[in-house]
Structure 1
Amino acid sequence: MTRDTLTETKIKSLKPKTKPYKVSDGTIGGLHIAVSVAGGKVFYFAYRFDGKWRLLRLGAYPLFSLEEARDLARDAKKQLAQGVDPAAATKAEKAKVRANATTFRIVTAQWLAWRQSALGAVTVDDTVKRLERHVLPRFGDKPIAEVAKADVKAVLDTLQAENKYQTLKKVRNNISQILRYAIDQEIPGVEVDWTKLVHRQYANLALREKHRAAITTPKEIAGLMLAIGAYRDSSQLTHLALKFSALTFCRPGEIRRAEWDEIDWENKLWRIPAEKMKMRQPHLVPLAKQALDVLRELQTISGHTRYLFPSVRSTERPMSEATVNGAIRRMGYEKHQMCAHGFRGMASSILNEKGFNRDWIERQLAHAPLDKVRAAYLHTEFLEGRCEMMVWWANFLCNKD
């Protein structure tokens, strides 16, 4: 290593050799520039701390000038005089900057991208909307390392005060998953899943939440079907979405995102792919004559598009989640009486009351996740019974029983 004082001119003249080499500054002890076999030049500061030699990378030339490198080396010497390891201090400062730039919103996007392959499209969409509505406006732009128990508690307290217990459980679970993802990714400053420390404050939510509103008596159901029939005058597409919801009692998201290429006309089935299902398993929906009639009428409206029920604003998007619920309100039903999800409770109540095989009903509701063997068994062994049940249900709704 040469002991001559470095200058900008000398640095520019340094040429690569067959092996890496370094040239000392000659002004500040420990400061030198390393030259790689490819010709790259980097300033370093060598020093002893706790009896060991250490190396601090200052920056690459010419992005860092000689004077800038000397200033950094002087700062490092001051830290050494104060008993501080310059390399450790630099690493901590970089981690702090990185942590401050990593907001809860950014980590949420990373977590969603990581989880997307394991979640259905409906679940992803619902999760995004839930977080955008209840969480991200509160602390989405805050560095995730600074998100505290008080932040999480404020969100959950608001939902509890609004008696939104079902949403509270889902939001709490989402926040927990995001924080645990950040911990697993070793994002600086994130060490605690705060939802675990407030869990007891929101216990027994299942006892407090009300079941989704649903009409369950034959007389009320008859009145609902009459109201759905009359809604044709307001909107034919929404009228058909309401009727199809009643006939198939699938989840609202599954109805809205139904696509024409999922309809098996020959076998009278609606084949919903696994990625659209909550339980991530393909689902078969037997189509009774009345459901097929709805589809034939729909063909004249949306048969040329991707979705059975496209958005009024763009045929490239499905109908809004608020459309069916809004129609139910305009038909005169309050929130505590009926909602889009209520068609499922309505069907379950009547079919169980009529003594249909409980396995048929639960499978048709697509409630429980199944192992591959049992899923295959239920798809084949129970399909005939489910077809009979769906025909009975359609006749019941249309007063043909």
Structure 2
Amino acid sequence: MALTALQVKTAKTTDKPIKLSDGGGLFLLVQPNGSKYWRLAYRFAGKQKTLAVGVYPDVSLLNARDRREDARKQLTAGVDPGENKKAQKAAKQGKAANSFEVVAQEWIEKFSTNKAASTIEKTNFILRRDVFPWLGARPIDEIKPSDLLTVLQRIETRGALETAHRAKQYVGQIFRYAVGTQRAERDITQDLKGALPAPNVIHRAAITEPLKFGALIRSIDGFTGTLAVKCAMKLAPLIFVRPGELRQTEWAWVDMDSATICYPASVMKMREDHIVPLSLQALEILREIQPLTRSGKFVFPSIRTSARPMSEAAINAALRRIGYSKEEMTGHGFRAAARTIMDEVLGIRVELIEHQLAHAVKDLNGRAYNRTTHLPERKKMMQQWADYLDKLKAGAEIVPLHGNAA
């Protein structure tokens, strides 16, 4: 049976340590001198282990139970809570200024200004879940290739080969940073070339045939899910930004008067501000969702809380719901569709399309275009594209227009 606060407070001492169980592996260890310690018994990788949870009364019964739940979550994610605690303690106390986790956090902070927020979040998540619990507390110059290989194989065995390769990539960058700051002699990931099977290259599915794309747009119009997801799906083919950028769109970036959305560098893959001209059709969609979400931060908020944007999986899940498999169409596929059809059917200049896709485009002198380059032409192009999509949706006959520029 679970303990009560009174039982914990009045627990009697004996001449030997005694254990009072609260369930789920949590127990109170009462020492002969009256000291009371919370401990958590758990199994990891087939071994029985014990985690120090805290000292009573500094850590109450409720606090101890919260820490038990935190440990359970780590175990579910494949993380050893004991090793994770050691890594966190070493990093926080700064006992090892050259520990892998300390160096990694330095690297993340130093290079975060050149990476999108979503990339930083993904990097942190993989390192915290898959690398730090085993290597975080260790001095970086003492980590051997075999140590890292064990970590990577642990990821691979759970069926996450792509994540294993990504973790190896991050570790390699961290080691190269450590070499540059004179805390490691070499990048040990170079010894692990070929140690992992090559990941399967999965191309993002996209519908690029005009008539089929028109059928897709009609299917989106018939979507019966939430208004936020439906409007996001309707807007996706009209502005063809990346799915992560679309879901994070904030009302503060939308200018209805100038008919633009200005995405800040912080959310862009290329780390540069990006202006998206809005067609009349795109503005109509934004006006449709505006009464529902304008009081919050995000144009397309999460169904659970307006404080967060809709989930990464929302668009793809909606596509599955209207009958398109992951082999047929993805949220990212709207970009490929626009790129292909605008070039091959509408004959729009490729550099305009690439610039609107927020790809790196340079002028004849090798200088990168800024966010306002060709803006009038891009506004015209986006309206032409939206009008063309209306015709596709209506099932009009499509005639290729070779060589016509926007």
Normalization by structure 2: what TM-score?
0.64
Alignment correspondent of 1:10:
none
**Are the counterparts in 1 of residues 361 and 369 from structure 2 also a CA contact under 8 Å?**
no
Superposed, which structure 2 residues align to 1:318-357 within 5 Å?
A: 318-354=309-345, 355-357=347-349
Q: Does 1:180 align with 2:171?
A: no
Tell whether 2:380 aligns with 1:388: yes
Determine the C-alpha separation between the residues in 2 that align with 1:274 and 1:103. 32
Q: Secondary structure at the match of 2:275?
A: strand
| 2:233 paired residue among 233, 242, 246 | 242
Identify unmatched segments of 5+ residues in structure 1: 1-96
Q: SS where residue 285 of structure 1 aligns?
A: strand
Which residue, out of 228, 243, 254, partners 2:220?
228
- Shift in Å, 1:160: 11
Could you tell me how far apart the structure 1 residues matched to 2:141 and 2:192 are? 18
Q: CA, structure 1 residues 373+107, in 2 after alignment: closer, same or farther (shift >3 Å)?
A: same
Instruction: State yes or no: 1:104 paired with 2:100.
Output: yes
SS at 2:206's partner residue? Answer: coil
Q: Secondary structure at the match of 1:177?
A: helix
In the TM superposition, what whole-angstrom CA distance separates every residue of 1:283-325 from its partner, at most 9, and x where no partner exists?
1111111111111112111101111112223222222212222
Alignment of 1:366 with 2:354, yes or no, is no
C-alpha deviation, 1:143, in angstroms: 5.1
**Which residue, 180, 183, 188 being the options, matches 1:194?**
188
Q: Name 2:247's counterpart in structure 1.
A: 256
Q: Which amino acid aligns with 1:362?
A: E
Confirm or deny: 8 A CA contact 2:240 2:334 kept in the other structure.
yes
Q: In the alignment, what sits opposite 2:279?
A: 288
Percent of aligned pairs with the same amino acid: 37
Secondary structure of the corresponding residue to residue 321 of structure 1: coil
Are 1:100 and 1:145, in contact at CA under 8 Å, matched by a contact in 2? Answer: no
Aligned counterpart, 2:209: 217
Return the alpha-carbon distance in structure 1 between the equivalents of residues 235 and 96 of structure 2: 49
Q: Is the 8 A contact 2:242 2:332 kept in 1?
A: yes
Deviation at 1:154, TM superposition (A): 5.0
* Aligned counterparts of 2:303 and 2:244: Cα–Cα separation in 1: 17
Q: Which amino acid aligns with 1:118?
A: N
The answer (yes or no) to whether the contact 2:117–2:266 under 8 Å persists in 1 is yes
Describe how 1:26-175 pairs up with structure 2 within 5 A: 103-132=99-128, 135-136=131-132, 139-140=135-136, 144-153=140-149, 170-175=166-171
Cα gap change, 1:148/1:395 in structure 2, threshold over 3 Å: closer, same or farther? farther
CA distance in 2, matches of 1:397, 1:159: 43
Q: Which amino acid aligns with 1:308?
A: V
Distance 1:133 1:342 in 2: 30
- How many residues align? The count is 298
- Provide the C-alpha distance between the structure 2 equivalents of 1:164 and 1:353, rounded to a whole number of angstroms: 36
Contact kept, 8 Å, 1:271 with 1:285, in 2: the verdict is yes
Normalized per residue, the structure richer in helix is 1
Cα distance change of structure 1 residues 376 and 325 upon mapping to structure 2, 3 Å threshold = same
Give me the TM-score of the superposition, normalised by structure 1.
0.64
Q: Distance in 2 between matches of 1:164 and 1:347?
A: 31
Post-superposition offset of 1:203 = 10
Q: 1:105 to 1:285 in 2, by over 3 A?
A: same
Answer whether contact 1:281 1:369 (CA < 8 A) is retained. Answer: no
For the pair shown, which has the larger CA radius of gyration, 1 or 2? 1
One-letter amino acid of the counterpart of residue 191, structure 1: E
- Return closer, same or farther for 1:360/1:137 CA change in 2, 3 Å cut-off: farther
